[in-house]
Structure 1
Amino acid sequence: MKWIDIPPIWWAAFVALSWWIGRAELFGLSFGGDWIGLLAGIFIGGGLILIALAALEMRKQRTTIIPHMEADRLVQSGIFRRTRNPIYLGDALMLLGFILRFDAPLALPLLPVFVWIIERRFIIPEEDRLRRKFRMDFARYCEKTRRWL
């Protein structure tokens, strides 16, 4: 069951729901303009870059990228100097990009709901495991690096 309860599954569900909301054209709302496609691409591309940078850094440090597993190392270098959760931040940026791409303004409230679920189901338990394993190193890391931005 743990392999089903992973962030990419939640992310895909939110993207699918956003797509459905965009296709339903509820109330005829639209972001309008050609610029929205460019903005969507920037968010999607930025999210992919964040995820790639984080995955490369975790691989370089030889620790797991899988949320439910115990980390071997506390990664504080690379993109992890800017945010403690670059992969989840990348997921949120890509979700926003797809909401824009699908022209689904009514799907915008899904973004904070997604962030809330990811925080409760994955980030807080991950941070608890890191806090227990790395104690003072993790406390210092939390002081100098924000959870999101």
Structure 2
Amino acid sequence: MKWIDLPPVWLALALVMAWQISRLQPAALAISHPALDLLGGLLVGAGLVLMLLALAEMRRRKTTFIPHREADALVTTGVFSRSRNPIYLGDALILAGLALRWDAPVALLLVPLFMATITQRFILPEEDRLRRKFRADFARYCEKTRRWL
């Protein structure tokens, strides 16, 4: 059952909920507009690019991207110089973008809930492991780089 507690599973759950909201919400709450479709597409694209850049940077530094595993390196370069969690930020962008593309503005409420869940279940434990392993380097990184953006 440990495979269930992975960020992509939580993202998939949030996306299913957003899609259901888009199907069940009253028509009066819809804000169908081409600009929102474009914005949604841009958010999804930005999320995917951010995730790919982060994965490439982690691979370059030969460290794991799998939660709950011990990191071999503290990655602070590339997209990690702007966000300590670019992959999770990419997930949140994808969720927000698809909520807009599916014309479900109410589903945007899922974005902060998703971010809070990811923070509690994954980010805080990951940061504890990094803090113990990389001590002063991780403390300096946290001073310079925000958790999300």
TM range (shorter): over 0.9
- 1:88 corresponds to 2:88: yes
Measured against aligned partners, the alpha-carbon deviations of 1:100-123 in whole angstroms (never above 9, x if no partner) come to: 011111112111100000000000
- 1:137 corresponds to 2:137: yes
For 1:139 and 1:25, locate their aligned partners in 2 and report how far apart those are by CA, in whole Å. 45
Unaligned runs of 5+ in 2: none
For 1:27 and 1:76, locate their aligned partners in 2 and report how far apart those are by CA, in whole Å. 45
Shift of 1:27: 5.5
Shift of 1:28: 2.8
For 1:116 and 1:26, locate their aligned partners in 2 and report how far apart those are by CA, in whole Å. 27
For 1:36 and 1:142, locate their aligned partners in 2 and report how far apart those are by CA, in whole Å. 34
For 1:80 and 1:129, locate their aligned partners in 2 and report how far apart those are by CA, in whole Å. 17
Shift of 1:90: 0.4
Residues 51, 86 of structure 1: 8 Å contact kept: yes
Q: 1:21 — aligned with what? A: 21
- 1:37 corresponds to 2:43: no
For 2:5 and 2:88, locate their aligned partners in 1 and report how far apart those are by CA, in whole Å. 15
Measured against aligned partners, the alpha-carbon deviations of 1:40-91 in whole angstroms (never above 9, x if no partner) come to: 1100000001000000000000000001100000001111011100000000
Greater helix share, structure number: 2
Residues 96, 108 of structure 1: 8 Å contact kept: yes
Q: How many residues align?
A: 149
TM-score w.r.t. the length of structure 1 is 0.97
Residues 2, 68 of structure 1: 8 Å contact kept: no
Return structure 1 stretches of 4+ with deviation > 3 angstroms.
none
Q: 2:79 — aligned with what? A: 79
Amino acid at match of 1:54: A
Amino acid at match of 1:80: F
